[in-house]
Amino acid sequence: MADKKDIRKLSLDQLTKEIVDMGEKAFRAKQIYEWIWKKRAISFSHMTNLSENLRAKLSKEYEFHAIKLSDSQVSNDRTIKNAFALFDNAIIEGVLIPTPKRMTACVSVQVGCSLSCAFCATGKLKRVRNLNHDEIYDQVVMINSQAKEKYDIPLSNIVFMGMGEPLLNYKSLIESIDKITSQKGLGMSPKRITVSTAGIANKIKRLADDGVRFNLALSLHAANDEKRNKIMPINESNNLEVLKEALRYFYQKTKTRPTFEYIIFKDFNDEIQDAVELVEFCKSIPSKVNIIEYNAIDDGQYQQADPEKVDAFAAYLESKNIIVNIRRSRGKDIDAACGQLANKNEAIKKEDVFYKKELS
């Protein structure tokens, strides 16, 4: 017998054709589609408004490549890092980040990564493959269920800041967000979604041409090509001038101001001169800046900047009328913070105790 098809790879039109070819009425495809994407079914047995005969036929022809929760680890600040097993036994990570104002899911788009950013644990891995759009969608569904179960609060935000470069998995990225925001899917607002990129200029322009409505963040970390080349090899083919042009195009088309993410490293990019260069870059496009404290990985190549320098850096930006936020890391004790995913993955231990108490 031929291998079963992954039913979640089919569009509604494709599914309708296949259902009609089975000898069933076309409206059955809409029912199945709603079960898959709105009701989040991952088994035909759950589709109770279908006949047993149709469910049997579907089970014979199709399957679900659903992800499974392999392990969870809970931080002292109640951030939860999850290891998800894919249908081919690959492992990815996704994080639930609870704060007083938000309940955020940080999701992955690739198994591994190909960009080799010097400060990132995932960048030390090879890229194995892109995730399918349903595998991205599943992370959101499962982390949302976790948020409601453990903290009695549903997700408010989604950030594509986990493993991999989102714009190098463009098709699955867009398809997953379409499902997440569609009223036929999860119905979340695109304004609650942020896609973070290391900077793929032609894909940023494509986002603009596609009229996306979600937020865009650029992992900048240096507004100086020489420094950025040292920590982010992608800058050699997508330098600051090229990115500046792409971001201007994005803003002109979408009217959405990008966010520049700036991890501040000790004795590397934490001087006022670095802030001067960042201000100059920010002037090119309406934008805002998130200063992110560095989270150490095993190689010890970089260290977190001194708090006094971080504060002085932020104060200089504010003095030049730049919108700036210092983002404090969460989940550092379980390697769930920015840049740490895949760090010590083999050491994840099961944690059975979760706390349902007011977020603080």
- Alpha carbon of 205 to those of 71, 190, 211, 212, 228: distances in Å? 38, 18, 10, 11, 21
Find the helix or strand (DSSP H, E) in which 93 lies.
strand 91-98
Tokens of 256: 């959405």
Identify whether the C-beta of residue 192 lies closer than 8 Å to the C-beta of residue 156: yes
Tokens of 237: 């083919």
How far apart are alpha carbons 288 and 323 in whole angstroms?
A: 5
How far apart are alpha carbons 64 and 19 in whole angstroms?
A: 17
* Catalytic status, residue 113: no
Instruction: Identify the CA nearest to 278 among candidates 233, 328, 230, 314.
Output: 314
* Catalytic status, residue 93: yes
Question: Of the listed 63, 93, 175, 261, which one is catalytic?
Answer: 93
- For every residue of 252-316, DSSP letters joined together read HHH----EEEEEEBTTTS-SHHHHHHHHHHHTTSS-EEEEEE----TT----BPPHHHHHHHHHH
- Cα 358 to chain centroid distance, Å, stands at 26
Instruction: Identify the CA nearest to 333 among candidates 325, 343, 324.
Output: 343
> Which sequence positions are flagged as catalytic?
93, 338
